[in-house]
Amino acid sequence: MSDFKSEFLRELSWRGFIKDTTHKAELDAYCAQGTPVAYVGYDATADSLHVGHLMTIMMLRIFQRHGGKPIALMGGGTTKVGDPTDKEKSRPLLTDEQINANIAGIKTAFEPFLRFGDGANDAIMVNNNDWLGELGYLEMLRAIGVYFTINTMVKQDTVRRRLEAEQPYTFLEFNYLLMQSYDFLELYRRYGCRMQLGGSDQWGNIVGGVDLVHKAEGGEAFGVTAHLVTTSSGVKMGKTVGGAVWLNADRKSPYEYWQFWRNTEDADVGKFLRLFTDLGREEIERLEALEGAQINDAKIALANAATTLLHGAAAAAEAEAAAKAVFAGGASADALPTAIVPQAELEAGMLVAAACTAAGLSKSNGEARRLIEQGAIRVNDELVSDSNAKVSMADMQGGAIKLSAGKKRHALVKAG
């Protein structure tokens, strides 16, 4: 049992989030009284967040549920520099237009998880470009440069690894720690925010902000980091053969999102139920105890709970029904990911390999041919053995051709 007194930290603890904290006793006391304020920062490097960001989003969700006020900080300013943490080379620099477009896309990811508004513990979203973009260089150096030593900064893991590998570490990136720390100071001043949450890779940046608040304002601030999640097979959370598992529906359909969770490795089901759903402890422990074929029931519960959080109960139910139709070998379901190809190509006959690539089941025609040769590709549930096989309008069933790669990946091809 956790030795925390605050309900927020107790729940984080039993669910398995917490990797490190600063000032544990004082942090616990802060979380246990009044309306504590905490933030997480998200740089706008893409137009959607992905499953790898869910750890901190769920931390904010739990924080709000226990009476805290969450701040989702958009990195409109820090994205102009690029977070070098755990990166072996510099990120490409984005334009202001790209950053603003990415922020617009990212905002939609938070709405299912947090309650925004003007209430005492309603979430707010702010953009650090509002203050970083207004700072003059000399002003920045005089305001916070005095509180940071090069001695400490070069000891950060990212800096040390780059230097040891003789990889460039630009002066632009070297400033990232100062900028993120300044975010904490600014949020402390503007909103009384005294806590930053983040992944364990952000520990150095978080400690920098905690120290800056103390040195510049004499204030008490705290940090909490979560474990970086990998699957039991060692794959980074949210990474698949098809790329990142995006949260925005236009990047990853509710059905594909449901399937991602349904395909969780057996050893990870309990962990993911704790981290990525709202299910209670008793129900999670019941599902964790399932063995053998019944583990599939726990996987379906995980997929339904996670998909409901992001896309709603109706989308989760539709995805489950679609999956049952697919695995039962029945008719193609409308919720499957769908590729539209020119009708003329289908009328002339389209290579199954090309259709698989168009539908996202393979990265290239060559990869699709290898899957065919391995006996992994089916068309309308019929095994394809010829790597030069074609599909045509004659293969349409209910207005679509169903393609399958292995037992778990399915898509439709329709004529457009």
Q: Is the pLDDT of residue 363 over 80?
A: yes
In degrees and rounded to multiples of 5, residue 390 shows phi and psi of: -125, 155
With beta carbons less than 8 A apart as the criterion, state whether 112 and 311 touch. Answer: yes
DSSP tag of 38: E
Q: What is the pLDDT of residues 241-270, one digit of tens each?
A: 456 788 998 888 898 899 889 888 899 999
Q: What is the pLDDT of residues 315-354, one digit of tens each?
A: 999 999 888 876 655 444 566 788 899 989 998 999 999 9
- Enumerate residues 6+ apart whose C-beta is below 8 A from 43: 75, 78, 79, 82, 83
Question: Measuring CA to CA, which residue among 262, 305, 245, 300 is closest to residue 407?
Answer: 262
- Where exactly are the structural domains of the chain? 7-226, 253-327, 338-415
Q: Which segment of 168-177, 291-300, 304-313, 360-369 scores lowest on mean pLDDT?
A: 168-177
Is the overall model pTM greater than 0.75, yes or no? yes
Fold of 7-226: Rossmann fold (3.40.50)
Residue 403 has which token pair?
């393609």
Q: Which segment of 7-21, 35-49, 168-182 scores lowest on mean pLDDT?
A: 168-182
- Enumerate residues 6+ apart whose C-beta is below 8 A from 229: 52, 55, 236, 237, 271, 275
Q: Is the pLDDT of residue 86 over 70?
A: no
With beta carbons less than 8 A apart as the criterion, state whether 372 and 389 touch. Answer: yes
Q: Is the pLDDT of residue 22 over 90?
A: yes
Q: Which segment of 56-70, 170-184, 360-374 scores lowest on mean pLDDT?
A: 170-184
The span from the CA of 207 to the CA of 187, in Å, is 15
With beta carbons less than 8 A apart as the criterion, state whether 413 and 355 touch. Answer: yes
Arithmetic mean of pLDDT, 170-177: 78
Arithmetic mean of pLDDT, 109-124: 95
Which residues are designated catalytic?
45, 50, 53, 87, 91, 180, 201, 236, 239-240
Supply the pLDDT for residue 88: 52
CATH class label, 338-415:
alpha beta
Q: Is the pLDDT of residue 308 over 80?
A: yes
The span from the CA of 358 to the CA of 75, in Å, is 34
- Amino acid at site 69: K
CATH class label, 253-327:
mainly alpha
3-class secondary-structure state, position 156: coil
